[in-house]
Structure 1
Amino acid sequence: MLLNKKNAVIYGGGGAIGGAVARAFAREGARVFLAGRSPEKLELVARQIRAAGGLAETALLDATNGRAVEQHADDVVAAGGSLDISMNVIQHGDVQGLPMVDMHVEDYLRPVSTAVQTVFLTARAAARHMMQQRSGVLLAFGGSGDPTPGNYFGGLITAFEAVEAMRRQLAVELGPYGIRVLTLRSGGVPESLPEDMGDREEIASSIVDATLLRRAATLEEVGNAAAFAASDKAASMTAATLNISAGALMDR
């Protein structure tokens, strides 16, 4: 197992991406701590993991609350003995579908503020423990790429770019402590789109059409990539991105 006896925290663990990552981590032997603001969704993922023989615990948590984030990290270490992996995949409250010139500044800035604040708080809480251990992995998730005509992402791309800047800085500062910092870039995962989204099929098709392989990453593949990135198989990887976009996002 890639993550045997590791303790992993997933913020936003009840969502589509978070749940997929949590199931993959648990399948590879990790004890998974799911944190978020939707108890029903968290418990659903936890039940799926337990039914498959894995270990999962849940906690209601607002990732914008620094004290709560720090306390939860302390609780994870108290329960498991270490905090080995931390991944933030919470929702950012972004507004899409409108040109920037038609947006309210509050709507544009919300995902930027939420992403920067929560990534900072969750990474800081985990890193304080990882520095003592002199090991650990911080994972981010994004789909940032160059804007394309006809797509209006609001502040989401700006949020992704801000998180990437943080990831680079964290990697430099935490590298001497044996802590790795990586981002998974997907370019979009059709399976993660809400079922009640009005233009879901159109958006899913646009994601696939942008790829070179004419297929997008699946939720299972996202989870598998995250498990690999968090494992010792990727021990030499840090300050980098794992491109799982099927060619939609070109590496430079």
Structure 2
Amino acid sequence: MLLAGRNAIIYGGGGAIGGAMARAYGRAGARVFLAGRTPATLSAVASEIRAAGGSADTAVVDTLDEHAVEEHAAAVVAAAGRIDVAINVIADADVQGTPVLDMAVEDYLAPVVQSVRSKFITSRAAGRHMVRQGGGVLLFFGGAGDPPRDFHLGGLQAGFAAVEHLRRQLAVELGAHGVRVLTLRTGGVPEVIPADVPGRAAIEASITGQTLLGRPATLKDAGNLAVFAASDLARTLTGTALNMTCGAMLD
């Protein structure tokens, strides 16, 4: 198995994207540490991983609270010996559907401020342990891209772009310590769109229509790519984004 004997923290592991990655990590042999704010969803994912023969632990952690994140990272090291992989897929507090000129300043900045704070805090906590142990992988999910013409996403992509700069900076500063830093660049995963969202069919059609392959990435794709990125098969990759947009965004 690609991740046998490794320990992975997934912040937001109870959500759709985080859960898919957690299950994939469990299948690949990693011991998975699920962190988030909702005990019920974390426990549900952990139960699935254990039922499939994997190992999973859960912890309620607010990723905007640096002390809580630091304490959790230390607890993981105390329990497992090291942190090999850390990925933060906590949902951003974004306000969508409103044109920029009609938005409040706080609504536009919310996904920028909260996303950067959350990703910085979790990356710093895990990164400190990775530097001490001489290696590890920090993963981000999102990536920069052109604003869509059909939908108003507010400050969501501004937050993605800010996190991308954080990823580059971390890759430069931590590379000498054996720490790789990557983004899983998404063009949208329709499966995560709630069924009751107004215009859901149009959103899914837009995501699919922008791809070159005529199909969008799935949750299974996200999990599989997260496993690859964290494995030794990707040992030459750092400071870059792995494009899982099915051709919606060209490099």
Q: After TM superposition, is the score higher than 0.5?
A: yes
Large movers: runs of 4+ above 3 Å: none
Contact 2:92 2:114 in 1 (8 A): yes
TM-score (structure 2 length as normaliser)? 0.98
Match of 1:12 in 2: 12
Match of 1:138 in 2: 138
Distance 2:120 2:243 in 1: 23
Contact 2:143 2:183 in 1 (8 A): no
For this pair of structures, how many residues does the alignment match?
A: 251
Is the aligned partner of 1:66 residue 2:88? no
Match of 1:170 in 2: 170
1:196-211 pair list within 5 angstroms: 196-211=196-211
Letter of the structure 1 residue corresponding to residue 27 of structure 2: R
Distance 2:73 2:49 in 1: 21
Match of 1:228 in 2: 228
Contact 1:10 1:86 in 2 (8 A): yes
Match of 2:102 in 1: 102
Distance 2:39 2:102 in 1: 35
Structure 1 residue 204 displacement after superposition = 1.0
Match of 2:150 in 1: 150
Is the aligned partner of 1:3 residue 2:8? no
Three-state SS of the structure 2 residue aligned to 1:95 is coil
Contact 1:9 1:35 in 2 (8 A): yes
RMSD: 0.8
Structure 1 residue 212 displacement after superposition = 0.6
Structure 1 residue 168 displacement after superposition = 0.3
Distance 2:192 2:207 in 1: 12
Match of 2:48 in 1: 48
Contact 1:143 1:188 in 2 (8 A): no
Q: Give a deviation string over 1:214-237, Cα, whole Å, max 9, x none.
A: 100010011000000000110010
Is the aligned partner of 1:28 residue 2:28? yes
Structure 1 residue 17 displacement after superposition = 0.4
Identity of paired residues, percent? 59
Structure 1 residue 241 displacement after superposition = 0.4
Is the aligned partner of 1:187 residue 2:187? yes
Structure 1 residue 249 displacement after superposition = 1.1
Structure 2: tracts of 5 or more residues without a match = none
Three-state SS of the structure 2 residue aligned to 1:129 is helix
Distance 1:26 1:37 in 2: 21
Structure 1 residue 143 displacement after superposition = 4.4
Distance 2:195 2:117 in 1: 28
Three-state SS of the structure 2 residue aligned to 1:110 is helix
Three-state SS of the structure 2 residue aligned to 1:29 is coil
Structure 1: tracts of 5 or more residues without a match = none
Structure 1 residue 198 displacement after superposition = 2.4
Distance 2:80 2:36 in 1: 19
Match of 2:237 in 1: 237
Q: Give a deviation string over 1:94-142, Cα, whole Å, max 9, x none.
A: 0111110011111110000111001100000001100011110000000
Match of 2:113 in 1: 113
Three-state SS of the structure 2 residue aligned to 1:56 is strand
Distance 1:189 1:121 in 2: 26
TM-score (structure 1 length as normaliser)? 0.98
